[in-house]
Amino acid sequence: MDATEQADINALAELLREDALLTMPPHPMWYMGRAAILALTADVFDPASPMYLGHWRSVPTRANRQPAAAHYVQRRGELAYRAQCLDVLRIEEGKVAEIITFVPELFGAFSLPPTL
């Protein structure tokens, strides 16, 4: 969560296994491997990228007995941080092996507010 809030790609790289997997149900996309995940994330964190979303805040939670993070984004020109995604993590040997990213519509099921 700190790596996301600080938009710190190097810290995120340290947390991911080399063979980490990122999926985003219900979207039919997935990213296999640390390099692919970091390439996507670097674009999302880079203010010069068209994929840039804004500043991030994260709230810890759990899903299916797994650690999870609810992520919120403060977009340019907005004061509130709005629900963006819910990452459910699978940890193996102290590293993130899998991230399943869910849509923000699920925040209510976790008693998470839509904005911070």
Residue range 92-102: mean pLDDT, rounded? 98
99 alpha carbon, distance to own chain's centre? 8
Say if CB 99 and CB 36 are below 8 A apart.
no
Percent of the chain with pLDDT over 70: 100
Mean pLDDT value across the chain: 97
Please state, in angstroms and rounded to a whole number, the distance separating the CA atoms of residues 75 and 73: 6
Rounded to an integer, the average pLDDT of 86-105 is: 98
Position 95 scores a pLDDT of 98
Q: Yes or no: is domain 2-110 CATH 3.20.20.70?
A: no
Q: What's the pTM? A: 0.94
Confidence of residue 30 (pLDDT cuts 50, 70, 90): very high
